Structure 1
Amino acid sequence: MSNKALLILDVINELIHEKGSVGKDGYFEQAQKKSLLKNLKEIISLAREKETLIIYVIFGFDKNFTEWSEKTKLFQKVKENNQAILGEWSTKIHSDVSPQDKDYVIVKHRVDPFFGTNLEQVLRSNNIDELFLTGVSSEFVVLASVISGHDRDYTINVIEECVSSSDKYSHDCAIHIMSKLSNVVSINDIKF
């Protein structure tokens, strides 16, 4: 196994399925325009072929919203709308890119996948020092991963064809910012 890991961030039904309540806010449409699921399948297949560690990160709360806070602007309506409940369809990883038994699945309750999770422990215990980021959305979880990973001394690569947002402008702004802290790479240039 290499010292590299592929992270698939928040590729859950809530965000990228046409029936997802948040997906209707543009995430589904942008994922379709970018052929996100097709591109993710391609990069996941390559990672499996090269025996690269694959880590899925999902977002959600327990049914009582124990981890939820009304102070977080992004998630203020989640409890009221009964969204992102762990174990329900909305927080399941999209079936087109389902994890396999050897893959890790990490649950987070905030934007940053390093915050309050065992992500760093999993990376360190597998001697990982280079991350390849994919997922939804560019301006939230992917950008947070870039910043947190950068500050933890990982080499960070954002696979441009494998990240999307709710709208093109937010995506483009996030890519511009991420390019200052990470390598923004094409799926065609990946060599795990």
Structure 2
Amino acid sequence: MTRRPALLVLDLINELVHPDGKYSDVCLDQIESRGVLGHTRRAIDHARERGIPVVYVVVGFSPGLADWPPASPLFAEAADGDRLILGTWGTEVHDSLKPEAHEPVIAKRRVNPFLGTHLELTLRSLGVNTLLLTGATTDLVILSTAREAHDLDFRVEVLEDATATSSRELHEAALTLVRRTAEVTTVDEALGRTRAADENETEEKD
């Protein structure tokens, strides 16, 4: 089966990955020390150069918090000080990774980016069968996306150097679980294999 990938940029929003973000204490030190934004920027550039769709996902809630889960220990602080409000600076993609006008930006209200969103419809419309995952955090959105996408019959590749969470130990533990339903790779390996596959396909046609 021909590999038709899309690059997913998951939850790399100001609230999490900018020093002024209200959740910058969660994993910003790991994002910076591991160069996650730089690696993701490189993945985006490679994808655009090769015509691979780039799809963004941002987490947040409507003003007034009607769709906020009050029983969630994860999102409990979101109601404190209007954190993660869609349409505000906090839920915008970090400036270094800004989407282009034609690139989809999917807003989600839970960890799972497929739940209650049009992400699957968007991917099917793009003819995608393989998802390349980048983002934060490894133990939440990356793991959740990998599992759900697996059950929706997508191939999944987690670009390990473009993901992070609150500690290296938790990151590695999450990747151990990810490997049950996805391949763990890197930006260069994933996009390099795409390039090689395309070149082989071209040679076969010739």
* Smaller-chain TM-score bracket: over 0.9
- Contact (CA 8 Å) 2:60, 2:109: kept in 1 or not? yes
Q: How does 1:125-136 map to 2 (within 5 A)?
A: 125-136=125-136
Q: Match of 2:174? A: 174
Residues 167 and 81 of structure 1: CA distance in aligned 2, closer, same or farther (over 3 Å): farther
- Contact (CA 8 Å) 2:161, 2:186: kept in 1 or not? yes
Read off the aligned partner of 1:55 and give its amino acid letter. Answer: V
TM norm structure 2: 0.89
TM superposition shift of 1:24: 1.7
TM norm structure 1: 0.96
Read off the aligned partner of 2:13 and give its amino acid letter. Answer: I
Over residues 10-30 of structure 1, what are the superposed CA-to-partner deviations in whole Å (9 max), with x where a residue is unaligned?
Answer: 0001111111111123x1100
Q: Match of 1:73? A: 73
TM superposition shift of 1:84: 0.3
Distance 1:148 1:121 in 2: 14
Q: How does 1:12-161 map to 2 (within 5 A)?
A: 12-25=13-26, 27-161=27-161
Moved more, 72-81 or 155-164: 72-81
Over residues 103-155 of structure 1, what are the superposed CA-to-partner deviations in whole Å (9 max), with x where a residue is unaligned?
Answer: 11000000000000000000111111100000000000010000000010100
TM superposition shift of 1:164: 0.5
Over residues 22-46 of structure 1, what are the superposed CA-to-partner deviations in whole Å (9 max), with x where a residue is unaligned?
Answer: 1123x11000011011101111000
Q: Which has the larger radius of gyration?
A: 2
- SS, match of residue 77 in structure 2: coil
- SS, match of residue 73 in structure 1: coil
- SS, match of residue 172 in structure 1: helix
Over residues 58-79 of structure 1, what are the superposed CA-to-partner deviations in whole Å (9 max), with x where a residue is unaligned?
Answer: 0001110011021122111211
Distance 2:163 2:148 in 1: 17
TM superposition shift of 1:3: 2.1
- Contact (CA 8 Å) 2:161, 2:187: kept in 1 or not? yes
- SS, match of residue 111 in structure 2: coil
Structure 2: which 5+ runs fail to align? 195-206
Structure with the largest fraction of helix = 2
- Contact (CA 8 Å) 1:3, 1:126: kept in 2 or not? no
TM superposition shift of 1:169: 1.7
TM superposition shift of 1:186: 1.7
Distance 1:68 1:129 in 2: 31
- SS, match of residue 6 in structure 1: strand
| Structure 1 residue ranges (4+ consecutive) displaced by more than 2 angstroms after TM superposition | none
Structure 1: which 5+ runs fail to align? none
* Aligned-CA RMSD value: 1.1
Distance 1:14 1:80 in 2: 13
